Structure 1
Amino acid sequence: MTTLSPDAKGYILTLSCPNRPGIVAALSQTLFEAGANITEAQQFDDTGSGSFFMRIMFDIVKGGRTEADLRGIVETLTSQFQMKYRLNCQSYRPKVMILVSKFDHCLVDLLYRWRIGELQIDPVGIIANHPEETYRDVDFYGIPFHYLPITKDTKTEQEARIFSLVQESQTELVVLARYMQILSNDMAAAFSGRCINIHHSFLPGFKGARPYHQAWNRGVKLIGATAHYVTSDLDEGPIIEQDVERISHADSPEDLIRKGRDIERRVLSRAVRYHIEMRTILNGNKTIVFNS
């Protein structure tokens, strides 16, 4: 994140619209007239879809325009350019609900990065389909823990409870931190664009269950992990981040799982950071990611 002047308040603006000449000029002029100082700007023209994407960071002198003022000013451009946008303060901390199953390495990593200030989030709950004693060595730092067991017969009721907790806590981002359950189509639709999953494979290869064993059976030389937005299509959501690690013929499936845990942790944490810093913009079945 760009360091702010002590006399300024920082904002992040992301936008997408059909591409045409004059977008950057109009936006820059509008922000200038609003008293904004642009500190960082990234843009991308998708020639395939004819779409334009942009992420802008800017400062407003304290005592200047309010966030409501800025939204009204940006709104004047939306009809002109058919623009979709998001605007938030740089200090914005979204409320996050973390879902987990038996494996807790991604959960622990997210909590650690939150605790040291690396991830600017406010965890509002941890939902698990395993009882709390499964995580007896994990410090939840006072974050509410919800044990919601699930069976084939209780899936509908369990998901309804998850949805209620998300609504009640005003959760803005749901993170599936190795939550080993497939969300229903209704649940995936309800969380569209605000639910991130970590899959222990370099998608689109080795989808579904036991991907490390699938990879070992194929004798691959690289394994990876993929963080993506959740959709109703299993493991097909827009990809946010991926990483890989080299393996050899001497590695067992257990070795792949062990090495894969490290990849999963770093890929998920980067994806969450990109989302909360508004570095991701959905583009159909893909994402635009403006990396720092």
Structure 2
Amino acid sequence: MALIKPDFVLLLSCVDRKGLVAAIANSIASQDCNIVQNSQFGDAATGRFFMRISFAAPDDVTVESFSEAFMPVATAYNLDWKVHDLKVKQRAIIMVSKGGHCLNDLLYRTATSYLPMTVTSIVSNHLTWKRRADHEDIPYYHLPVTPDTKAEQEARLLELIDEQKADLVILARYMQVLSDDLCRKLEGRAINIHHSFLPGFKGARPYHRAYDRGVKMVGATAHYVTADLDEGPIIAQDVSIVDHADTVDDLIAQGQESESRVLTRAVKAHCEHRVMLNNLRTVVFK
């Protein structure tokens, strides 16, 4: 028996109350749609309810037609909600500096369709990865930045996001701090990778400082970008074990592998519409 593939994903949150799930399910069924997967979470601390529903739909159902029919339930329960067409891939700009391990993993995972996204361009403050971009036939924008040109550089970045209709900006070891204004404009659609469990070992030479402290594991954290540096809502984390005989170079290699893996995991969850913001935290549905 063939598996039913979903056509749409519905994300919603609201104040938790009785009858909510039944009303949502009945609305979906009334449009001749079939629920393929349903995940939900009630946050006891805040009283908020979160839900992700993927469903198959007849050919004549569109985001617009579904939304119109779903509106009575959404209004009655005061839902924060959005429906996504799974045929439409997320459009992403990848930003990188000199370290290319995360960039290369993202490009490979996109080429093999593991990541449901289209890379519209690569933006960098260096020319290091231009040949890699040319090989993939991806536009490459060299936007060097200094304290004097930062505002101009960020304005150009916003133009590129608008021109390319980018849904997502991925900071794949982009070693520049974004301005507070840019962070606010990209809220909920920019993902960064950090080289440890936050807030440990911020700043320069983190693996050297971790080595000096004799850490027993190294890790990585992927999070949404906010104006609070490296303190945005966390999407994914992971670690690898460090042996007492490991060198600094061993730690760097392990850390880079973790960074690539964690960033890809976070991007995949975002592109599959599995992440919902819950104040400073996230709900990440499997």
Q: Same fold (TM over 0.5)?
A: yes
SS at match of 1:136: helix
Give 1:177 shift. Answer: 0.4
What code does the residue aligned with 1:162 have? L
Query: d(CA) in 1 for partners of 2:21 and 2:205?
Result: 47
Give 1:116 shift. Answer: 1.1
SS at match of 2:7: strand
Match of 1:46 among 43, 46, 53: 43
- The alignment status of 1:106 with 2:102, answered yes or no, reads yes
Give 1:52 shift. Answer: 0.3
Structure 2 gaps of 5+ residues are none
Give 1:73 shift. Answer: 1.9
Match of 1:85 among 81, 86, 100: 81
- The alignment status of 1:130 with 2:136, answered yes or no, reads no
What code does the residue aligned with 1:108 have? N
Give 1:227 shift. Answer: 0.4
Query: d(CA) in 1 for partners of 2:64 and 2:141?
Result: 36
Query: d(CA) in 1 for partners of 2:283 and 2:180?
Result: 24
Kindly indicate whether the alpha-carbon contact (under 8 Å) linking 1:241 and 1:267 is maintained by their aligned counterparts in 2. yes
> Over residues 75-102 of structure 1, what are the superposed CA-to-partner deviations in whole Å (9 max), with x where a residue is unaligned?
2222222211121122220110000000
For the structure 1 residues 164 and 3, does the alpha-carbon distance in structure 2 shift closer, same or farther, using more than 3 Å as the test? Answer: farther
Any residues of structure 2 matched to 1:166-245 within 5 Å, and which?
166-245=161-240
Query: d(CA) in 2 for partners of 1:271 and 1:165?
Result: 23
SS at match of 2:57: strand
TM normalised by structure 2 equals: 0.95
Give 1:115 shift. Answer: 0.7
- The alignment status of 1:260 with 2:255, answered yes or no, reads yes
Match of 1:119 among 115, 122, 141: 115
What code does the residue aligned with 1:32 have? A
Give 1:161 shift. Answer: 0.8
Give 1:134 shift. Answer: 4.8
Give 1:276 shift. Answer: 0.6
Match of 1:30 among 19, 27, 32: 27
Query: d(CA) in 2 for partners of 1:192 and 1:113?
Result: 25
What code does the residue aligned with 2:9 have? I
For the structure 1 residues 134 and 88, does the alpha-carbon distance in structure 2 shift closer, same or farther, using more than 3 Å as the test? Answer: closer
Query: d(CA) in 2 for partners of 1:140 and 1:74?
Result: 45
Kindly indicate whether the alpha-carbon contact (under 8 Å) linking 1:208 and 1:234 is maintained by their aligned counterparts in 2. no
SS at match of 1:61: coil
Kindly indicate whether the alpha-carbon contact (under 8 Å) linking 2:96 and 2:122 is maintained by their aligned counterparts in 1. yes
Farther-moved stretch of structure 1 (244-253 vs 50-59): 244-253
The number of equivalent residue pairs is 285
> Over residues 190-209 of structure 1, what are the superposed CA-to-partner deviations in whole Å (9 max), with x where a residue is unaligned?
00000000111112322333
Kindly indicate whether the alpha-carbon contact (under 8 Å) linking 1:198 and 1:228 is maintained by their aligned counterparts in 2. yes
Query: d(CA) in 2 for partners of 1:3 and 1:268?
Result: 29
For the structure 1 residues 137 and 72, does the alpha-carbon distance in structure 2 shift closer, same or farther, using more than 3 Å as the test? Answer: closer
Query: d(CA) in 2 for partners of 1:91 and 1:4?
Result: 15
Q: Please provide the CA RMSD for this pair.
A: 1.6
Kindly indicate whether the alpha-carbon contact (under 8 Å) linking 1:281 and 1:289 is maintained by their aligned counterparts in 2. yes
- Aligned partner of 2:56 in structure 1 is 59
Kindly indicate whether the alpha-carbon contact (under 8 Å) linking 2:133 and 2:140 is maintained by their aligned counterparts in 1. no
User: What is the identity percentage for the equivalent residue pairs of Structure 1 and Structure 2?
Assistant: 46
Query: d(CA) in 1 for partners of 2:135 and 2:63?
Result: 34
- The alignment status of 1:16 with 2:13, answered yes or no, reads yes
For the structure 1 residues 103 and 50, does the alpha-carbon distance in structure 2 shift closer, same or farther, using more than 3 Å as the test? Answer: same
Query: d(CA) in 1 for partners of 2:221 and 2:236?
Result: 6
Kindly indicate whether the alpha-carbon contact (under 8 Å) linking 1:96 and 1:171 is maintained by their aligned counterparts in 2. yes
Give 1:136 shift. Answer: 3.4
Kindly indicate whether the alpha-carbon contact (under 8 Å) linking 2:124 and 2:142 is maintained by their aligned counterparts in 1. yes
